[in-house]
Amino acid sequence: MDNLTLMTYLFVGGSFALYIGIAVWARAGSTKDFYVAGGGVHPVTNGMATAADWMSAASFISMAGLISNMGYGGGLFLMGWTGGYVLLAMLLAPYLRKFGKFTVPHFIGDRYYSNSARAVAVLCLLVASIVYVIGQMTGVGVTFSRFLGVTNEMGIYIGMGIVFAYAVFGGMKGITYTQVAQYCVLISAYTVPAIFISLQLTGNPLPQLGLGSTLVGSDVHLLTRLNEVVVDLGFNEYTTSLPGSTLNMFVYTVSLMIGTAGLPHVIIRFFTVPKVADARASAGWALVFIAILYTTAPAVAAMAKYNLHATVNHAVATGGDLYAEDASLRYEDRPDWMQRWERTGLLRWEDKNNDGRIQFYGPRAGAKAEAAGWAGNELTVNADIIVLANPEIALLPNWVIALVAAGGVAAALSTAAGLLLAISSAVSHDLVKSVFVPDLSEKGELLVGKISMAFAIVLAGWLGLNPPGFAAGTVALAFGIAACSLFPAIMMGIFSKTMNKEGAIAGMLIGLSVTLFYVFAHRGIMFIPGTAYVEKMGLSPNFFFGITPEAFGAIGALVNFAVAFAVMKMTAPAPDHIQHMVEDVRVPRGAGGAVAH
């Protein structure tokens, strides 16, 4: 066993021992412990747990890779996810906490005075959460397969076992304190390599400032040089590129924002604090903890991209001719980290011109590449490896690489646990207890909750091992589902006294249906890879004003609102006692005394 493997086992194994130890210490003894951690979590603690719950494998592993690939256009993920959290903290969380229910379906069922509305909300929650958890289990598999030398399948099995150990027995109480530990691990794993690399490239220890600094030994700024490199090699300019049209970028950002605000596993965290004032305070603390990673991500993306090009093309760092005969790296001389990632299948090389060198360039190189004797881009780099491979690309010490491995696992497991608890509580509390067996005892409900959690873990693992055909867009799809279904129902439930059950139910169902139709028309029917019907229906891709499937959740939300208000106008308004309840929830009077029930 080499030194890196040993260090990785120590870091990852140590973090697992910590998580399980916390779960044993904080095991749930009641339904209140299981669902909302007893309702007595300190705002700072809850803020840190919320940050870990919210910053998933998508934030830790994928986001910087997406920004690295997309350049400026990747900023939509920063704006969408962070803006969505602000929207949640300001418009939804305090009111939901004052309402005092355990779960989002519980709020919707009581607000719309209907078990049917509750059941539809459960359906929307399950679809969004299950789709989202696929991405987390995939992230666990990628991290384990690369750093622990096990297969992707074995990595998912290990992840399932760890989550089972602390989520089933600890419930929200165990998950909350485990997530605090996971936040400490993931934020250290994200920022420590970034500080090292920023010092290497710019001499500035703060990555946020290093991004705008000049390169060491040069008067050229990092972003200026990166732009020169990528443009000369035939890629889009890093600081100006957009994903499609400006309209699509706007709609995509809105979809991520309102999807974030509608994600049930984040909303449920605000029920764990004693008072409404504490919900607001924990939201503020969570934003601080989230901002540490989100302000670092653009620097990680740009510096990793620069280092990757500098590794493959010697002339990048020296300012020489990028198309010179000896500028590109010989395949036999590739560094160890490339060999390790090749074994995962996430990095691939194909020698198209049989010269034994790695040519890494974009479609706009044209005549320059042809004149150099290049026959097409030869290197494929999956965006998901950018953060995990970043310290290896920069040749950082093995302990930093091992720390990043532990951070990637922590990010995936923390969000997976929150999602699984949301699924479990929806089944046990909102279906079994509230609809089918109203006289179920607290002990019985707790047992059903744990069984539901165990079943959800098995389902999540199975989906991670056998991802459906739309798996490539799972994270964006999950946000789109939450945006088009739950977010409008929650907003109308808080801010429209007259919205009735008929309007809410129709809005959720039609908003969800329209969004899923658009997505599956492009991506394929669930569990049938490659079955897309856009062309068969005589439609062009992105046929709705050029909006991509990942961005369509915002359009689905507009449909939800429109249908809900149209149906409300044709049916009886909400009863007077419901309107008075909504008014009471919105008025700050007595906000400090709201108690979950």
Helix (H) or strand (E) holding 347: strand 347-349
Q: How confident is the model at residue 433 (pLDDT cuts 50, 70, 90)?
A: confident
Kindly report, residue by residue over 278-333, the tens digit of the pLDDT. 888 888 899 899 999 999 999 999 999 999 999 999 999 888 899 998 899 999 99
Taking CB atoms within 8 Å and a gap of at least 24, the contacts of 444-448 are 445/31, 446/28, 446/30, 446/31, 446/34
Kindly report, residue by residue over 240-249, the tens digit of the pLDDT. 877 778 899 9
- What span, in angstroms and rounded, lies between the C-alpha atoms of 13 and 352? 42
Alpha carbon of residue 529 to chain centroid: 23
- What span, in angstroms and rounded, lies between the C-alpha atoms of 255 and 120? 21
**pLDDT the model gives residue 470:** 41
- The CATH class given to the 3-306+394-462 domain equals mainly alpha
Q: How confident is the model at residue 229 (pLDDT cuts 50, 70, 90)?
A: very high
Residue 277 has pLDDT above 60, yes or no: yes
**Distance set, CA 154 to CA 157, 200, 346, 464, 589 (Å):** 5, 36, 17, 11, 53
Average the pLDDT over 148-162 and give the result.
Answer: 80
Which residues have CB under 8 Å from 6's CB, separation 6+?
Answer: none
3-class SS string, 377-428: CCEEECCCHHHHHHHHHCCCCHHHHHHHHHHHHHHHHHHHHHHHHHHHHHHH
Which residues have CB under 8 Å from 344's CB, separation 6+?
Answer: 142, 145, 146, 385
Comparison of pLDDT for 4 and 15, the residue scoring more: 15
Alpha carbon of residue 163 to chain centroid: 18
Average pLDDT over all residues of the chain? 85
User: Which amino acid type is present at position 456?
Assistant: A
Which residues have CB under 8 Å from 279's CB, separation 6+?
Answer: 93, 94, 97, 270, 273
Region at 332 (left for phi over 0; alpha for psi -120 to 50; beta for the rest): alpha
With the C-alpha atoms ordered 217, 220, 226, 228, is the resulting torsion angle positive or negative? negative
- What span, in angstroms and rounded, lies between the C-alpha atoms of 11 and 588? 47
**Packing angle between helix 3-25 and helix 152-163, nearest 10 degrees?**
30
Comparison of pLDDT for 535 and 151, the residue scoring more: 151
Asked if 210 contacts 44 with a C-beta cutoff of 8 angstroms, the reply is no
> Residue 146 is encoded by which pair of tokens?
């690369």
The lowest-confidence range among 29-33, 353-357, 495-499 is 29-33
Asked if 115 contacts 276 with a C-beta cutoff of 8 angstroms, the reply is no
**Distance set, CA 400 to CA 24, 166, 405, 546 (Å):** 29, 26, 9, 43
Comparison of pLDDT for 504 and 91, the residue scoring more: 504
Residue 373 has pLDDT above 60, yes or no: yes
Vertex 454: Cα angle to 453 and 459 (nearest 5) = 95
Residue 590 has pLDDT above 60, yes or no: no
Specify the DSSP class assigned to residue 525: S
> Residue 202 is encoded by which pair of tokens?
């710019």
**Distance set, CA 450 to CA 8, 172, 453 (Å):** 32, 11, 5
Alpha carbon of residue 545 to chain centroid: 26
User: Which amino acid type is present at position 492?
Assistant: M
Asked if 483 contacts 259 with a C-beta cutoff of 8 angstroms, the reply is yes
3-class SS string, 268-331: HHHHCCCCHHHHHHHHHHHHHHHHHHHHHHHHHHHHHHHHHHHHHECHHHHCCCCCCCCCECEH
Instruction: Return the residue matching tokens 């689905």.
Output: 556
Kindly report, residue by residue over 181-207, the tens digit of the pLDDT. 999 999 999 999 999 999 999 999 999
First to last CA, the chain: 54
DSSP string, 348-366: EE--SSSSSB-----TT-T
- What span, in angstroms and rounded, lies between the C-alpha atoms of 122 and 116? 10
Question: Could you count the other beta carbons within 10 Å of the beta carbon of residue 331?
Answer: 15
- What span, in angstroms and rounded, lies between the C-alpha atoms of 122 and 128? 10
Asked if 562 contacts 491 with a C-beta cutoff of 8 angstroms, the reply is no
**pLDDT the model gives residue 205:** 95
